[in-house]
Structure 1
Amino acid sequence: MNLSILSKQKIQSKIKVRKYVVHNYLLYYLFRFAAALGQEVFYITFLPFTLWNIDSYIARRLIIVWCIVMYVGQASKDLLKWPRPSSPPVVKLETRVEAEYGMPSTHAIAATAISFTFLLAAMERYQFPFVLGFVAALCLSTLVSLSRLYTGMHTVLDVICGALIALLFIALTFPLWDAVDHLILTNPIFPVLVVVAGFLLSYNYPKLDHYSTTRADTTVILGVGAGTCVGVWIINLIGLTYMPSGVLPLPLPPLSYPLLFKQLLRFILGVTLLVLTRYIAKTLSLKALGSWYKVSTQDVLVRQRLEIEVPYKFVTYTSIGLVATSVVPWIYYLVKL
């Protein structure tokens, strides 16, 4: 009888209990979609699309600003160690990042940084109503920030501090963007320094008192930034950096079906190459690390160890950044796409 009761209790404990009821599906899907705008799936689509189909000038600024402010935000979480909102009273709709600390909100940081960096960089290149662009940037960053409250992952203070960090960084560094961009494109030492600094910052990330995804995510971000710096230097060296003709700012080009079809082809080809790069770089780096440390990298716990996780993620995403900014544009040039 006791064994029967215990088995029933085990079965009941394994049944997933629904902890909330959705009354307004419009708000639910709106904020779940907005929350996705601060996740990897958005970065690996929007940033490459900007690079390949809009303007590499804007994309370079987006990636560099995004990398720096995200490192500041991620490291701040593990230094401050402020917990996320307790549940109850809130209901947490995400589980992947639940083990991370809360202050500041890196979703708010990323959304604010990307929105307003895009606005300021595009303002120098293209003619468009600034007020309209400002409203769009404000709406996007606000929507993503509010989604963190709706999903129960952050407090109002977390979100406000995240947005302020991004805005303060943009305000302080905006006068230096052109000078830094020139260094990245023309100085052969600068990209090397970025790669070394990115790896050291990842490896010496603030010590975790329990495992969370912050160190891995930070390594991914710094790897993309390092690969981007190397890639844009290479593409500039071979003379394929996009330079618009005419007096800046330029009028926006008219949209047409042939142009949209061409952009779609470029995007599909580019993303396919990035997926292949990720698979090859990840597989080879894990095999090399497994052989070096004589461990099985098939084990999830082994891949979470510092000496395994940081090198394989940094190598993988540095390769992705490098391919996205140099190999893919070079292939577009060869196939006249």
Structure 2
Amino acid sequence: MAELLRSLQDSQLVARFQRRCGLFPAPDEGPRENGAGPAEGATGTPGAGNLPAVTRKGGGEPASGLQRAAAPQVHTQKYIVKNYFYYYLFRFSALLGQEVFFITFLPFTHWNIDPYLSRRLIIIWVLVMYVGQMAKDILKWPRPLSPPVVKLEKRVIAEYGMPSTHAMAATAISFSLLISTKDRYEYPFALGLAVAVVFSTLVCLSRLYTGMHTVLDVVGGVLMTALLIAFTYPAWTLIDCLDSASPLFPVCVVIVPFFLCYNYPVSDYYSPTRADTTTILAAGAGVTLGFWINHFFQLVSEPTSSLPVIQNIPPLTKGMFVLCLSKFIVGIVLILLVRQLVQNLSLQVLYSWFKVVARNKEARRRLEIEVPYKFVTYTSVGICATTFVPMLHRFLGLL
């Protein structure tokens, strides 16, 4: 078993996949310069911008056992693209696994499709992402080595690799959506299953193509998600009812996630993992709190508790498309305004409280500042998305 794990964690396996898909490192031509992108001699130059890579101190493989983490050193790296179909396919698939996609997709589901589905998807997404992010900083397994792997992303290089939270999120959202809709809407189940498999597979393969994860990271993420869905599925109906269980429910919704964020596992060096985890938990807390507000104060009508089967899903017409787009734009604009306002106010209060110079951007990384300001900001965003945006839609006649 240990030999199998080592083989799946081998960076050469990722490099071979990249080469088969037409992605090669450019020959070393001396010192690298900032802004290096795809090398000359490829069939063209994609608009990829600065796409740096990473090496570990020492640059070699560990002497024995599975790879252990070391602080990454970031440098720019030239590369050659020989197959632009795979390049754009997997770059786009990688975007579908980003948090920003799900943070956009989930409100869209709430505003334009079904609040029942969005509630379930958000709860599962938050649970899966928290487990995955926490596992990274507990296991502390590094990302693939470069060389031989070509790295196409920069922001998450400082994070550890195991498990792939992109793979976890894509698998959780696609299959939770499939499970939640099979008894609510009438559609060919085989088609829905195929879409879920294709979506999650593309995101998983994109993590190998971009050089961000080993095969073991991706497989581990998928398996962890499958186990979490299997273990929590019997309680999904109960979880749906928790937001109306008690007037004290909002206290638990706020205190428990904040405690988990503040006691997040300490990393050997700073990475955006804790900040991203706080954002996800806070957004989940805000959304859950927003659903409780809607139910407790009867502000926004909710669908009935039964799960009706819709015999004929209405086709997408031009009028429906314009309506959905209008609701989405109105909602996103309001959310961005709330996010900016609350973030600025919370940072000013925390800077003043801890006597920190506002121009010191490094201060945002301090535990006592980063966790509270992100938690307050994205809890407000979650409440806004589920309560105030639907109220604004009703006021504007968009419902």
TM-score calculated relative to the size of structure 1: 0.93
Aligned residue in 1 for 2:246: 187
How far, CA to CA, are the matches of 1:16 and 1:246 in structure 2? 56
String of CA shifts for 1:20-76, please: whole Å, max 9, x gaps.
111111111111111111213202321110010010100001100000110000000
Task: In structure 2, list runs of 5 or more residues that go unmatched.
Answer: 1-30, 38-77
Secondary structure of the residue aligned to 1:208 is: coil
Match of 1:325 among 354, 365, 386: 386
Match of 1:283 in 2: 344
Tell me if 1:94 matches 2:153: yes
Equivalent-residue separation in structure 2 for 1:293 and 1:274 (angstroms): 28
**Counterpart residue type for residue 303 of structure 2:** M
- Aligned positions of 1:1-337 closer than 5 A: 14-18=33-37, 19-239=78-298, 240-243=300-303, 248-251=308-311, 252-337=313-398
Structure 1 CA distance for aligned equivalents of residues 358 and 197 of structure 2? 43
Provide closer, same or farther for how the CA distance between residues 16 and 180 of structure 1 changes in structure 2, counting only shifts above 3 A.
same
Give identity over the alignment, percent.
56
Unaligned runs of 5+ residues in structure 1 are 1-11
Give the letter for the 1:326 counterpart.
T
Equivalent position SS for 1:250: coil
Deviation per CA, 1:237-260, whole angstroms, max 9, x where unpaired?
233233169971113223221111
Q: 1:212 aligns to what SS in structure 2?
A: coil
For residue 308 of structure 2, what is the amino acid of its counterpart? L
In structure 2, the residue corresponding to 1:152 is in which secondary structure? coil
The alpha-carbon distance between structure 1 residues 220 and 21, as it changes in their structure 2 partners (threshold 3 A), is same
1:3 matched to which residue of 2? none
One-letter amino acid of the counterpart of residue 361, structure 2:
V
The residue matched to 1:51 in structure 2 has which SS? helix
Q: What SS class does the counterpart of residue 81 from structure 2 fall into?
A: coil
Deviation, 1:14, is 4.5
CA, structure 1 residues 176+16, in 2 after alignment: closer, same or farther (shift >3 Å)? same
Deviation string, structure 1 residues 181-240 (Cα, Å, up to 9, x no partner): 111134322232021111110010001110001000000000001001110111122332
Letter matched to residue 242 of structure 1: E
* Larger helix share, 1 or 2: 1
Quick one: distance in 2 between partners of 1:271 and 1:215? 25
For residues 346 and 143 of structure 2, what CA distance do their matches in structure 1 show? Answer: 34
2:162 aligned counterpart, secondary structure: coil
2:275–2:370 contact (8 Å) kept in structure 1: yes
SS in 1 for 2:199: helix
Query: More relative contact order in 1 or in 2 (CA 8 Å, sep 6+)?
Result: 1
State how far apart, in whole Å, the 2-side matches of 1:260 and 1:244 are.
25
Instruction: Tell me the distance in 2 between the aligned counterparts of 1:169 and 1:13.
Output: 44
Matches of 2:370 and 2:345 in 1, distance apart? 14
- Structure 2 CA distance, aligned partners of 1:143 and 1:102? 18
State the alpha-carbon separation in 2 of the partners of residues 171 and 245 from structure 1. Answer: 23
Q: Which range is displaced more, 255-264 or 279-288?
A: 255-264
- Distance (whole Å) between structure 1 residues aligned to residue 314 and residue 359 of structure 2: 49
How high is the TM-score relative to the length of structure 2? 0.79
Q: Distance in 1 between matches of 2:310 and 2:331?
A: 26
Cα distance in 1 between the residues matched to 2:368 and 2:306: 50
Output the CA distance in 1 between the equivalents of 2:81 and 2:307.
53
SS at match of 2:80: coil
- CA 1:160–1:245 in 2, change beyond 3 Å: closer, same or farther? closer
Q: Is the 8 A contact 2:183 2:307 kept in 1?
A: no
Q: Structure 1 residues 109-118 or 191-200, which shifts more? A: 191-200
Q: Cα RMSD between the aligned structures?
A: 1.7
The one-letter amino acid paired with 1:208 is: S
Distance 2:327 2:245 in 1: 26
